[in-house]
Amino acid sequence: MLRLQKLTKTYKTGDQALKAIDLEVPKGQVLALIGPSGAGKSTMIRCINRLVEPSSGGVLLDDTDLTRLGAGALRRARREMGMIFQEYALVERLTVMENVLSGRLGYVGFWRSFLRRYPQSDVDEAFRLLDRVGLLHMADKRADELSGGQRQRVGICRALIQNPKLLLVDEPTASLDPKTSRQIMRLITELCRERGLAAIINIHDVALAQMFVPRIVGLRFGEIVFDGLPTALTPEKLTEIYGEEDWEATIEAVEDDEDIEAAE
Amino acid sequence: MPVLEKEGTQVWRRRTRGEALWRWFGWLIGVAVFAVCWQQISASTTWFFVWDAPRIADDIWTRATPPRWEYITQLGRPIWDTLNIATLGTLIALFLAVPVAFLAARNTTPSTLFVRPIALLIIVSTRSINSLIWALLLIAIIGPGVFAGVIAIAIRSIGFCAKLLYEAIEEIDHGQVEAITATGASRWQVMAYGIVPQIMPAFAGVAVFRWDINIRESTVLGLVGAGGIGLQLSSSLNVLAWPQVSLILLVILGAVVISEWVSAKVRGAII
């Protein structure tokens, strides 16, 4: 469904963030993108919806090449891709409801959105989503009154109300505590399963990725150095991705975690 | 190199000996310049006027007190004009400053090469000329009266408001803009959802702050004939009617105190 073809990004400073990335994500597959800071994870997902302009190569969503679209067509294509951010990126001074509805901006005209006159179907969907993530009672609160985990749930609602085919998720748990991190990861993967969404999840936490995601892609210096099942991620592979370190503890911790999860 | 080895222990000083000497030398120069300036100024001062000043001040004080209270009936209209000049001028300025600010801010300007310099030029040129001078110019163009005052205040305030606003725009959190863009929102929607909510507190703050300043500025506009209470002030000064002058100053003081109070309240409510 999503295909990256020789996707390359060179910044003006000369840093090559992505070196001819080839990647295919079938419909409904959730994929975790791991790698050290500066490996190009953020750049890669931003090149997909062109928040960052790729230097060359193609991004094929279904059969349209997103890199060739003009401004209007790009906006319509962006509606198909929901995005979730590390620092939530909610509009802090707007209410939860306004933040969720802002996911529909690509579908409603300027004046309707400016006067907050969204179609009733959008409002219904917003309430359904807020109920699904357990924040129905918060609909009228301002976004800056919420805790980190709650904000990220609002961010998830905003992405899902776009009715996307694909979720681009940038470090969803990096600002959250371990328990909330798991809850958020579980929520994202569950929702993807429910709706048959594909997702690319950038994530620092290898253990968390292995716990929830069926396919892991490792990025190092803008190149894919690993692509496979979580179980195939051996200490040697982690060394290849991140560099020399004692990885046994990380992997063991994951196995323990899985036991705990199962016990719960 | 502020770390020295002394008898085996590492001693840390804020400055090296050389740096410290240079600083003392700098202070010495400063004191010397001050002394020379003092001498120059005192040589070219007519000391008679200075020694005489307390007596004259006392004389004016006795002439000016008590204020001529019954004159207040003639001040209602002018102070109302003054308030209107300030308020209308501020509103017009804000109306014009918003687009200028968006054109001047690095992250929203359509072109850094052409549009931004023009916007910055507008900001600098309107800011650099005092409202009294704008009023003098405008009186020559559109004749004396309140309208000239309103326009003078408006022009003078554009640069100030636009500068503070564009700085607020440049400091917004880019993540929120990115998130709105990623939903497929249009340029204007990104502005309305991603940028405007973030600069609202700054906008409200700038508006009341400038209004507060403009009340003070508009009290003197009458001196050059641009309407408001300054007109009464200048005519009273011209006929040496000191009790009227003192009453006018009291009224101005009252207006400024009230405006300070209002703007403090508004700012408190927003932030």
8 A C-beta contact, residue B221 and residue B230: yes
Residue B104 lies in a domain: yes
Q: What is the C-alpha to C-alpha distance for residues A150 and B148, in angstroms, rounded to an integer?
A: 54
pLDDT of A191-204, one tens digit each?
Answer: 999 999 999 999 98
pLDDT of B187-211, one tens digit each?
Answer: 999 999 999 999 988 898 899 889 9
Confidence of residue A125 (pLDDT cuts 50, 70, 90): very high
pLDDT of B29-51, one tens digit each?
Answer: 999 999 999 999 988 888 888 88
Q: Which of B173, B176, B177, B195 to mutate to test the interface with A (most CBs of A within 10 A)?
A: B176
Task: Retrieve residue A125's tokens.
Answer: 């969907």
b/e code A37-54 from CB counts within 10 Å (16+ = b): eebbbbbbbbbbbbbbeb
| Same domain assignment for residues B99 and B231 | yes
Task: Retrieve residue A164's tokens.
Answer: 């996307």
Q: Please, which residues have CB within 8 angstroms of residue A249's CB and are 6 or more apart in sequence?
A: none
β strands within B7-53, DSSP E: 9-12
| Same domain assignment for residues B147 and B17 | no
| Same domain assignment for residues B13 and B135 | no
Residue B55 lies in a domain: no
Segments in chain A forming alpha helices (H): 41-48, 71-78, 96-101, 110-114, 120-132, 148-160, 178-195, 206-212, 235-242, 248-263
| Same domain assignment for residues B108 and B203 | yes
Read off the CATH number of the domain in which B182 is found.
Answer: 1.10.3720.10
pLDDT of A134-178, one tens digit each?
Answer: 999 999 999 999 998 999 999 999 999 999 999 999 999 888 888
Q: Report the pLDDT value the prediction gives residue A263, as an integer from 0 to 100.
A: 47
Helices B196-221 and B146-170: crossing angle, nearest 10°?
150
| Same domain assignment for residues B225 and B167 | yes
Residue type, B61: W
| Same domain assignment for residues B160 and B100 | yes
| Same domain assignment for residues B192 and B150 | yes
The SS3 call for residue A49 is: coil
Residue B51 lies in a domain: no
State whether A105 and B197 contact (CB < 8 Å).
no
Q: Please, which residues have CB within 8 angstroms of residue A110's CB and are 6 or more apart in sequence?
A: B186, B188, B189, B192
pLDDT of B123-138, one tens digit each?
Answer: 999 888 888 888 888 8
Query: Which residue of chain A has the CA closest to B173?
Result: A89
Q: Report the pLDDT value the prediction gives residue A103, as an integer from 0 to 100.
A: 93
Query: Which residue of chain A has the CA closest to B197?
Result: A93
- Asked if A111 has any chain B CB less than 8 Å from its own CB, the reply is no
pLDDT of B70-87, one tens digit each?
Answer: 888 888 888 888 899 999
Q: Report the pLDDT value the prediction gives residue A30, as an integer from 0 to 100.
A: 92
Q: What CATH number belongs to A1-74+208-264?
A: 3.40.50.300
Number of domains in chain B: 2
8 A C-beta contact, residue A30 and residue A199: yes
pLDDT of A223-250, one tens digit each?
Answer: 898 898 888 888 888 888 887 777 776 6
Q: What is the pTM of this model?
A: 0.80
State whether A76 and B184 contact (CB < 8 Å).
yes
Residue B68 lies in a domain: no
Residue B64 lies in a domain: no
For residue B38, what are the domain limits? 1-46
Residue B227 lies in a domain: yes
* Residue among A203, A249, A246, A209 nearest A229 (CA): A209
Give ipTM to 2 decimals.
0.88
State whether A103 and B183 contact (CB < 8 Å).
yes
| Same domain assignment for residues B27 and B80 | no
DSSP 8-state assignment for residue A174: T
| Same domain assignment for residues B195 and B257 | yes
| Same domain assignment for residues B34 and B110 | no
